[in-house]
Chains A and B, each alone.
Chain A
Amino acid sequence: MPVSRLQIVIVAAASMALAFVLAAYIYSAQREDAIRAVSEAEDSPLEREYSVSEGPADARVVLVEFFDPACETCREFHPYVKKLLAAHPGKVRLVLRYAPLHQGSDTMVLILEAARRQGRFWETLEVMYATQPQWASHHQPRPELIWQFLPDAGVDVERIRKDMRDPDMMAVMHQDLADGRVLGVRRTPQFFVNGKPLLSFGRRQLKSLLDSEVAARY
Chain B
Amino acid sequence: MTAGRRTWSILFICWLLVTGATLGSLFFSEIMELPPCSLCWVQRIFMFPLAIILLVGLFPPDGSVVRYALPLALCGVATAVFHVLLQFGLIPESASPCQQGVSCADVSLALFGFVSIPVLSLAVFSAVAGLLYHSTRSGCQ
Contacts and interface: CB of A to CB of B under 8 A. Distances in A.
B27 A5 contact: no
Nearest to B59: A6
- Binding site of A, secondary structure by majority: helix, strand, loop or mixed? helix
A80 interface: no
A20 interface: yes
Contacts of A24: 27, 31
A41 interface: no
Contacts of B37: none
A2 B59 contact: yes
Contacts of A17: 23
Contact of A186 (B20, B33, B101): B33
B55 A23 contact: no
A13 interface: yes
Nearest to B100: A103
B55 A20 contact: no
Contact of B58 (A5, A16, A19, A27): A5
Nearest to A6: B59
A5 B20 contact: no
A12 interface: yes
Contact of A16 (B12, B23, B100): B23
Contacts of B60: 2
B45 to A, nearest CB: 20
Given A16-B19, A16-B23, A20-B23, A9 B31 contact: no
B55 A9 contact: yes
B8 A5 contact: yes
Nearest to B32: A27
A27 B32 CA distance: 8
A13 B55 CA distance: 10
B16 interface: yes
Given A2-B60, A16-B19, A8 B12 contact: yes
A187 interface: yes
A9 B12 contact: yes
A24 B29 CA distance: 11
B67 to A, nearest CB: 21
A186 B34 CA distance: 9
B31 A12 contact: no
A9 B55 CA distance: 9
B58 A9 contact: yes
A20 B19 contact: no
Contacts of A5: 8, 12, 58-59, 61
5 contacts: A5-B58, A9-B12, A9-B58, A24-B31, A103-B100
Interface of B: 8, 12, 15-16, 19-20, 23, 26-27, 31-33, 55, 58-61, 100-101
Interface of A: 2, 5-6, 8-9, 12-13, 16-17, 19-20, 23-24, 27-28, 103, 186-187
Of all A-B residue pairs in the complex, the 4 with the closest CB atoms, nearest first, are A24-B31, A20-B23, A186-B33, A27-B31
